[in-house]
Structure 1
Amino acid sequence: MSIRTQVKKLLVDGLTKDEVFNELNSQIDEEKLRKSLASLPTLHQRIRNRVLHSLLVFLLSLNVLFNLVEQLGNNFTTLYDLIINLFILIAVIQYRSWIFLGGAIWFLSMFGLTSYQFNDVLSGGLTQLELITFLTLGTTILLIFILMLTIKYRVFPYTTFILYKRNELDKVIYQKNT
């Protein structure tokens, strides 16, 4: 069983990060254990943020569904959007710490593209349905961006995109005062 799986199982069972660290420290390399603890939420964090997480998963699912419908309309130019959004959805469901910041950057760039397309179409005139579609899509993307950043900084404050924050002893921080 991998280190991440062992740590995740103990955290889901309700142990605190300190309890998991004390239990597994003698069996696992300390650096790897600290990284796993920093990148996984506790049961308390999952419960406290379940509404935000559920809303994020719902919005990401809608986004994937929208991309899928677009693909069925023989618009294969955005196939990479579907693949990336599906990948982000799966990683968010699994609470992968690195995806929240990376995904937020992805959706921020999508928001920029959407607003650029909106300005381009606006100059040519919009039907009421196109206007509603663009506003809904832009709002959804902006909400996804905000939710991803909120969850990242509430649940994973000691991780960056691919690095971990370290204390003065150059050890990975997995919670306050570690």
Structure 2
Amino acid sequence: MPMISNRDRVAHHGNWVGQDLQAEVVPHVEAWRLFSSGHLLHRRVVATDLRDAAELRPDAPDATGAVAVWDVLLYLVEVAELGARYATALSVDTVSINVSVHNIAGRELISGDWKRELHGTYVTQAESLTASVVLAAPALLASPRTVGVDLTQQILRKFGLSVADKILMEWQDGILDKTHDPL
């Protein structure tokens, strides 16, 4: 995170570099800007908006769309891991991570995984959901996954979902195990 395409040139500007990526080969749309100040702005489309699969559709009849727990979880763990790499590369004392999910009103939080069900309906009416953390660099370096899970929990709670951190860690482990299986 962010995805860097070899097909498109990285745009170089006075105080930032970045790319705007469209879903050409894989269902993925994002834009990113890395500033000389050390700030990173990353915008991406949630997976449920780019994939047409039954397990990614909302169950609530009045929901305007869905957001999959695994999409939030994997992304925010990646964000925390990038923050840890930033802390190392830039030799900073503290790292601030601020995440916002916009245009979310009416969306239902879904599992997105047929093997894991959410018991209940979790629809937000908020236009935006936010999560943030400010940490000393050593704390982030010690456990970026835990920080990613904490950020995920902040978003999930705003949908009304309460789930144990251990479950999210196991969920991420299960997803990673699938991606590393030999063919």
Q: Report if TM-score (shorter chain) is over 0.5.
A: no
Kindly indicate which of the two structures has a greater share of residues assigned to helix: 1
- TM (norm. structure 2) is 0.25
Whose strand fraction is larger, Structure 1's or Structure 2's? Answer: 2
TM-score by length of 1: 0.25
Tell me: higher relative CO, structure 1 or 2? Use CA pairs within 8 A at least 6 residues apart. 1
* Structure with the greater alpha carbon radius of gyration: 1
